[in-house]
Amino acid sequence: MSGIADSDERLRGRCLCGGITLSVPAGAHAIHACHCGACRRWHGGPALVLQAVDDLRIETGDTLVRRFASSQWAERAFCGACGSSLFFHSTGDGQHYLSAGLFDAIAGARFESEIFIEAKPDWYALEGAAEHLTGEAFLARIGAG
């Protein structure tokens, strides 16, 4: 089952077509919402992402993963078959932020922050984030500012 920790203590997720399966440590639980223009264009709204440190494993479908440099500080990846957004990888600190929707369940998930808060349009609002960071503050945190 996708998103459930297995015997290796990893959460497993998949793209829409199932061609790509991936895993992250089962302890990953920090959810962030990104309001930057790139994420809103890529996701059709704010990106809800699971921070997975630097331990992302592409379990199956590696040849379907398409990557592109979306900025000077990050690359994005998607499934070449179905187009599902998979992750963005910050090149400053090596962190991976995976689309939370790839996982059916994320045990202990916490809505930790909204980033690029100054770019959030007025037509939606999210509740419950413990922290609100400007783009400048977020970039400084990941070593890209």
- pLDDT tens track for 78-105: 999 999 999 999 888 888 999 999 999 9
Mean pLDDT over the full length of the chain: 90
Order of strands, sheet of 57-60, starting from the edge strand that comes earlier in the sequence: 10-14, 21-25, 57-60
Has residue 145 got a pLDDT over 70?
A: no
Report percent pLDDT > 90 for the chain: 69
Report percent pLDDT > 70 for the chain: 94
pLDDT of residue 61: 98
Q: 70 Cβ partners below 8 Å, 6+ apart?
A: 38, 42, 76, 88
Which candidate, 40, 145, 47, places its Cα nearest to that of 96? 47
Nearest 10 degrees: Cα torsion 116, 69, 141, 37: 0
Most confident of the ranges 25-34, 59-68, 87-96 = 59-68
pTM given for the model: 0.86
pLDDT of residue 143: 82
User: Average pLDDT of 125-145?
Assistant: 88
Has residue 65 got a pLDDT over 80?
A: yes
Q: Which domains does the chain have, with CATH numbers?
A: 10-120 (2.170.150.70)
